[in-house]
Structure 1
Amino acid sequence: MYLAATVLRNNVFLLLFLFIFFSCDNKHKEYAENVFPYSRFPQEKELRGEVIELDTALFRYPFRIRIEGDKVIVIDLHGTDHYGHLFQYPSFQYLSSFGRRGDSPMEMLSMENFRFYNHAVWTLDANKSELTRLDYSSSGDSLLREEAVTLDEDILRPLDFVVYDDTTFVIPDYSGESRFLKVNCQGKLIEKIGAIPTANEKALHEARPALAQAWRSFLDYNPHNGVLAAVTQLGEVVEVYNLKDSTHVVRIGEHNEPEFKVSDGYGIPTGIMGFSDVQVTDSAIYAVFHGTSFKEIARQSGRLSDGGKYIYVFSLKGEPLCKYVLDHYIYGIWVDEATKTIMATDVNSDQPILKFSFG
């Protein structure tokens, strides 16, 4: 009896060892050598938000917030009349609105994001496949449309962009053929960058457009250090491209890469809501994380607050540094490391602007 039990136990240990060995070996083979998992952060801190009282009711879905100098802009993703709103900073006194909603040549069908660059503002209208530059009026209290760049027809519907330099933009490639596209100031494709870092070989070969949809990512680029960061809307993947030295690091969290099923050529999400915004500062990468499963979203049927309760901080090489746990659900962020301030948008509140102090 004792001998049989010993042999059985040893066989179980041997099988367990072989399972772990082959699992680890297969996992290693699935991803490239620049892909690293992460599961925890060296630091975890709680942050309490201060509500900024606005003197005007403008927003239906305040999606993005960015600040430059004494100006702050907030995008309303579902704006009734305008998509963009300009405020004084730090008072948040309302100044004016821009990006009128409509289908005329001077109006916008959507506004996915905007970027400050050289004292001007660039916006993206995905429905028109158009980038627009706006300059400040002489009084500085409004933004005026100056030029529009129509993207090539073979560039599939772009959902985000960054300004790389005076003549170049970077946008995601939703064909699935590469990860990003460099586009010149005439809207022409000039270079393809990278590939989707997936272990899903079947989708990579048979359903690239659906795979690219599932890997929709939010971007930010810092010209001071040359770091382009991308965070996935589904799953938990952070990509860090250093465009100065051409290095590329991928970090995958415990929720793994985006999960989806293909239906009529489209990628239908089946996993979790991942990230919703990212900012590359001079010293770190800050990203808003949700982590809510679509099963839970469906089960709660609209009762869940929309947004993420976490801000993840990574080094410029993608190493996890700190996890901030918030007392509000947020969508967009703007980080000022000099004053240790994070401004954020809350789509669940009539007073949607929050201020967090950190550090």
Structure 2
Amino acid sequence: MRVGVPREIKVHEYRVGLTPASVRELVAHGHGVLVQAGAGAAIGFADAAYEAAGATIAADAAEVFATAGLIVKVKEPQPAEWAMLRPGQVLFTYLHLAPDPAQAKGLMASGASAIAYETVTEAEGGLPLLRPMSEVAGRMAPQVGAHCLEKEAGGAGILLGGVPGVPPARVAVLGGGVVGANAARIARGMRAEVTVLDRSTRVLAALDVEFGGAVATRFASRAAIEEAVIEADLVIGAVLVPGAAAPKLVTRAMLAAMRPGSVVVDVAIDQGGCFETSRPTTHANPTYVEEGVVHYCVTNMPGAVARTSAVALNNATLPFVLQIADKGLAEACAENPHLAQGLNVHAGGITHGAVADALGMDHLPVERAFLR
């Protein structure tokens, strides 16, 4: 199979779908790889490195989309890319379709099959292709939040870790999963006062053991969320419902009751965000102020540390890329039900139940999709 890697065109997105090391593995399996010129240059992966790994360099994205059977990306395709997809082609990337009906319709109209990294599952019940970026975003959240708390960034002028005689900032983390746990580790390491809220008592117990009580844990009732948000200097939204839109846990009224210059970092923004006042931003203009609160809602947070993120993502995605390339989409999904869970669009229909529900569209089950 010919595998294509276009250069990412989302604003300030420097990650790349395949690293030279991943290309070398595909070539060793007998596949051809076509990489758009400059696709990895911004993070130190020169075209020469791809050629040394066995790839062919394409002049532009049009050549990649026109000749590759499998397109491997990082971020959701932009409208110009929808138009280049074709029936029978496979797209493997992050999609986040639940809050994006326009993209869903564009992919359906293309006739291509689209697999979303964020809904591929594993036997243990996790999301293996979302995890590395969740780890990155979780670890980034306290540091970007700490910067936003600085006065020149619009914040209240509070040092996250405090100093002797001055208390540290109070950080509330909504969700104790991969993002939330990583956020809590970094925030605590920066000497902040940290509280994690989650609806799973098992998750809360695990965090309590890990931190030895140094991080407070609370069951995420509405009352507890409201109290924690109003008292916090920094709130990190780390909730996830796989494939579905994020629940709006924090209302405008809660934000209005926070101290002016407080900060929220909405890591759930890819799925619509968990703050009522959240709207997507980019690295070019990452923040805005609403109800006196600084909002950081960048939809591709890990893109800021693009080299680390690209390598971490490739470590997780490569086995699935090889499986699709080696066997073809239908056989790969038949053999690996976890990969099949990643299929979001096929034969013009939405094949993931949670995505279909979020979009208010009909659900085409995967087993029926391949009969079309």
TM-score normalized with structure 2 length: 0.23
Q: TM-score, normalised by structure 1?
A: 0.24
Q: Which has the higher contact order (CA 8 A, sep 6+)?
A: 2
Q: Would you tell me which structure has more strand in proportion to its own residues?
A: 1
More helix by share: 2
